[in-house]
Amino acid sequence: MGEYRIALSSDFVKADGSSTFPMFDLGPLGTEPGVAFEYLKSAGEVRADELEGFDALILLGHEFTRASVPSGGRLAIVARFGVGYDTVDVAACSDNDIALTITPDGVRRPVAVSIIALILAVTGKLLIKDRLTRQGPEGFAKKAQHMGVGLVDKTLGSIGIGNIGAEMYRLAKPFDMKFMAHDPYADPAVAEALGVRMVDLETLFREADILCVNCPLGDETHHIVSAERIAMMKPSAFIINTSRGPTIDQKALTQALQEGRIAGAGLDVLEQEPPDADDPILRLDNVVLNPHALCWTDQCFAGIGATAIKATFEVMRGREPRGIVNREILENAAWRQKLEAFRGAFGE
- Whether residues 222 and 268 share a domain: the answer is yes
Of these residues, 273, 327, 328, 340, which one is catalytic? 273
| Same domain as 87, residue 128 | no
Whether residue 225 is found in the same domain as residue 92? no
Q: How many domains does the chain have?
A: 2
Tell me, yes or no, whether 31 and 138 share the same domain: no
What residue ranges of the chain have pLDDT lower than 50? none
pLDDT single digits (tens) 291-348 = 999 999 999 999 999 999 999 999 999 999 999 999 999 999 999 999 999 999 998 6
CA-to-CA separations, 296 to 11, 140, 300, in angstroms, rounded: 16, 33, 6
150 and 208: one domain?
A: yes
Strand order in the sheet with 56-59: 35-39, 4-8, 56-59, 77-80, 99-101
**Active-site residue among 47, 292, 322, 336?**
292
Concerning whether 223 is annotated as a catalytic residue, the answer is no
Residue where a domain stops, chosen among 263, 289, 315: 289
Task: Reply yes or no on whether 273 is catalytic.
Answer: yes
Residue that is last in its domain, among 289, 307, 336: 289
Residue burial 288-312, b: 16+ Cβ < 10 Å; e: rest: bbbebebbbeeebbbbbbbbbbbbb
Q: Could you tell me if 196 and 242 lie in one domain?
A: yes
Which residues form the domain of 216? 106-289
Q: Do 249 and 304 sit in the same domain of this protein?
A: no
Q: At what angle do helices 298-316 and 333-346 cross, to 10 degrees?
A: 90
Question: Do 249 and 170 share a domain, yes or no?
Answer: yes
Identify whether the C-beta of residue 211 lies closer than 8 Å to the C-beta of residue 157: yes
If we measure between CA atoms, which residue out of 139, 118, 116, 119 comes closest to residue 129? 139
pLDDT at 84: 84
Q: Tell me what pLDDT residue 1 has.
A: 62
Q: Are residues 221 and 145 in the same domain?
A: yes
Q: Are 161 and 191 in contact (CB under 8 A)?
A: yes
Instruction: Give the per-residue pLDDT at 105.
Output: 87
CATH assignment of the domain containing 265: 3.40.50.720
What span, in angstroms and rounded, lies between the C-alpha atoms of 248 and 167?
22
Q: What pLDDT digit, counting tens, does each position of 83-122 carry?
A: 889 899 999 999 999 999 999 888 999 999 999 999 999 9
67 and 136 inside one domain: no
Do 123 and 136 lie in one domain? The reply is yes
Query: Strand 99-101 relative to strand 77-80: parallel, antiparallel, unpaired?
Result: parallel
Find the catalytic residue in 5, 80, 108, 244: 244
Q: Are residues 161 and 73 in the same domain?
A: no
Nearest alpha carbon to residue 237 among 262, 214, 255: 262
Q: What is the rounded CA–CA span in Å between residue 110 and residue 24?
A: 15
CA distance 86 to 215: 13
Q: In this structure, what are the phi and psi dihedrals at residue 101, rounded to the nearest 5 degrees?
A: -120, 155
User: What type of residue sits at position 252?
Assistant: A
* Rounded distance between C-alpha atoms, residue 85 and residue 197, angstroms: 29
Say how far apart CA 25 and CA 45 lie, in whole Å: 24
Domain finish residue from 289, 323, 338: 289
